[in-house]
A and B are shown apart, each in its own frame.
Chain A
Amino acid sequence: MIFFRSLRALTLAFLFFFLFATLATAFGIYFATLKTIDHMVVQRITSTSEVLAPEGEQLSAGRIGRRIMAAARDRDTGDLGLILLERGRQIAGNVRVSRPLPLGLSQVDPADEIKGLSHGRVLVRDLGGGLRLAVIAETEPFDNYNAARKRIYIFGFGSIILVALAAATTFTLIIRQRIIEMRRTVDAIVEGDLSQRVPGSGPHTAFGQQAHAFNRMLDRIGDLMTEVQNVTNGVAHELRTPLARLRNHLTLIAHDPRALPVRDRIEEAQAQADSLLSLFSALLRMAEIDSGARRENFAVLNLADLVADCAEALEVVVEDSGHHLSVAPLQPIFVRGDTQLLSQMVINLLENAVRHTPSGSEIRLSLSVAQPGRAALIVADNGPGIAPVDRERALDRFGRLSRGSEVKGHGFGLPLVASIVRLHGGSIELGDAQPGLEVTVLLPTA
């Protein structure tokens, strides 16, 4: 049934079966009618032959000849060709044939040059005593009917097929349009625009009701997401204030001369407070990105310049940490986006490579058009990489928190990158650089 999962395949299958059933019906009717007509013609010439020369009666040639002539004048049998032959020679009849006719049933056609008859069926009976009786029935009126029937079939069944084809196409287009509308809505929502809804088509239509149900579901999801965002924002804001106060307090203590012996430990506590503050900052930043509000800042920019600036900015850090950064030649590639966020994306990817690979590791950065309309930014290193089972979790902002040290250190850098990529309508994939981690970001070009 996999074949029928595509709307096009389903329509084609429907049309194929419909066409097959219609044509089979048409041919069935055609051949059944033809057989019935043939049967009726044969029955008529057989019964006429029987009437002229009944089976078992030994009639003289003259008597049969008179019967033939009478039948030829009769209204009911006047359209039949009647011939009496004696040892192959015609002795009576209302038509002539140019060739000897075989015994039993056979066909006659224009080649037989029977006057006033083109197509017909003939029954030749041996009457004994060298006599043979041939009864010919004209099938031409039926042939004409046959042509008319063909026309009826072609126009009748042809128009049925055309109507079905038009109906199937219209049906497919309507369904496809609804699917496209729904997909656009889903795409917009996935990119963070929760305000998008499927356009309705009247509350009493099946599509309208479906759109309404879908939109109600989106309303509910939107409410839940807003609640979650509010809780996240609320918690982050609420915790940041006392944390900032605590940090300020530690700064004041550190400046007190009496704290001199434990200054290192105070600074350690300060660093921990800073780390917590930056964690909340990252959460709030992600919440802002996910809300789609930053889309207002979008402008067309040259991603190659941005990537070059970021690489240049981090070059010093890369060198100081004993890493090597190689940037593949950059060609101008234009995308629509937020300069700050895209810079943060590139910086985070490079920092991720610096922080999670040992000194001496190679970091490779490249930017290219991977496929039409898609820019590919690749940051690869030859460090320890991330095991395939942990890759998805490395992009999940709470993956690290819930699973402790399993994806240790990949922190909020990659989830933040994933949020930025999502906002820009792109995709991110963590792969194996053999050895090392290879992060591929695909972004739509402008």
Chain B
Amino acid sequence: MSLSLLIVEDDEELATQLGEQLSLFGHRYTIIGDGRRANQMIATTHFDAVILDRILPMIDGVTLLKSLRQHNILTPVIMMTALGQSRQKVEGLESGADDYVVKPVDPAELNARLQALVRARGWTDNRADETLRVGDLVVSPARHSAWRDGKALRLQKTEFKVLAELVRHAGTPVTRAMLLERVWNYDFEPATNLVEAYIRRLRIKLMEFGGDDPVVTIRGLGYMIRG
């Protein structure tokens, strides 16, 4: 999915590098160096998503974001925060950011989050419980149950959460960090292969009644269920 992105970052070199790396994933990008011009640009031009730095000249990232949300501009926004500054993350999310990435940004991680964000834009709170269908997989968050090819899967609570996250973003990669945040609610990366261990169990249970492995491993990044 090619996206039209706005990068709001005052470090020109960093912004250009990030734009070039994102263009390798097929996205188009525009760079704006300060908050005030970014505000005007977002109000007049359509973007699929905004990548917003926390610290900016004129208007800082959080103020800009609050202003956008107050004016009911709901363009998905990913905040870029400094590592070891969890306060920035909390401020960003409280101000209306949809997600955050830690600097230095890993382009593959950012791409995965952008894809997930834009796809999930359709999911609002009252649809979060709606049954999800991908190929022969059916996942019902409301009933906490999943079926493959009509056969009920015996999944544990966490295995179910992992599957639901993968199915919700079917066709786009879900990174290890995204799974840790969304399934386990961890803002840190455990030293052991926690995610891999659950994926391994999930795969076994998904193939219990036959069929191919629907989970694709994306080396060095995460996992994906084919859309």
List A residues at the B interface (Cβ < 8 Å). 233, 236-237, 240-241, 244-245, 247-248, 251, 254, 267, 270, 274, 278, 280-281, 284-285, 287-288, 293-294, 296-297, 312-314, 316-317, 320-321, 339-340, 343-344, 347-348, 351, 354-355, 411, 413
Contact = CB atoms under 8 A, between A and B. Distances in A.
Interface in B51-86: 82-86
A254 B219 CA distance: 10
B92 to A, nearest CB: 15
Contact of A233 (B84, B186, B191, B198): B84
B21 interface: yes
Given A248-B107, A270-B220, A355-B192, A240 B197 contact: no
B193 A281 contact: no
Nearest to B193: A317
Nearest to B183: A313
Interface string B150-194: 000000001000000000000000000000000011111111111
B87 interface: yes
B191 A355 contact: yes
B194 A313 contact: yes
Contacts of B188: 285, 340, 344, 347
25 contacts: A236-B84, A237-B103, A240-B104, A241-B103, A244-B104, A248-B106, A270-B220, A280-B83, A281-B83, A285-B84, A294-B86, A297-B90, A313-B158, A314-B190, A316-B201, A317-B192, A339-B185, A340-B185, A340-B187, A340-B188, A343-B185, A343-B186, A347-B190, A411-B191, A413-B191
Contacts of A312: 158
A408 to B, nearest CB: 15
A248 B201 contact: no
Contacts of A270: 220
B200 interface: yes
B83 A348 contact: no
* 8 nearest A-B residue pairs (beta carbon): A284-B84, A244-B104, A288-B84, A316-B197, A241-B104, A317-B192, A344-B188, A317-B197
A347 B103 CA distance: 25
A285 B201 CA distance: 31
A240 B102 CA distance: 11
Given A288-B84, A344-B186, A351 B192 contact: yes
B108 interface: yes
Contacts of B197: 316-317, 320
Nearest to B180: A313
Contacts of B186: 340, 343-344, 347
Interface in B2-43: 21
Nearest to B107: A248
A354 B197 CA distance: 14
Contacts of A344: 186, 188
A351 B201 contact: no
B200 A320 contact: yes
Interface of B: 21, 82-87, 90, 103-108, 158, 184-194, 197-198, 200-201, 219-220
A321 B194 CA distance: 11
A280 B83 CA distance: 10
Contacts of A343: 185-186
A355 B193 CA distance: 11
A416 to B, nearest CB: 9
SS class, residues of chain A in contact with chain B: helix
A248 B158 contact: no
A287 B84 contact: yes
B161 to A, nearest CB: 11
Contacts of B194: 313-314, 316-317
A314 to B, nearest CB: 7
Nearest to A348: B191
Contacts of B198: 316
A240 B190 contact: no
A347 B192 CA distance: 9
Nearest to A320: B197
B22 to A, nearest CB: 12
Contacts of A245: 104
Nearest to B159: A316
A208 B161 CA distance: 60
Nearest to B21: A248
Contacts of B185: 339-340, 343
Contacts of A339: 185
Nearest to B194: A317
A293 B87 contact: yes
Given A316-B201, A340-B187, 5 more contacts: A236-B83, A278-B189, A294-B86, A344-B188, A413-B191
A420 B82 CA distance: 20
Nearest to B106: A244
A272 to B, nearest CB: 13
A127 to B, nearest CB: 112
A237 B192 contact: no
B62 to A, nearest CB: 16
B70 to A, nearest CB: 24
Nearest to B84: A284
Contacts of B105: 244
Nearest to A343: B186
A364 to B, nearest CB: 18
Contacts of B84: 233, 236, 284-285, 287-288
Contacts of A237: 82-83, 103
A376 to B, nearest CB: 23
B187 A267 contact: no
Contact of B190 (A251, A280, A351): A351
A297 B91 CA distance: 12
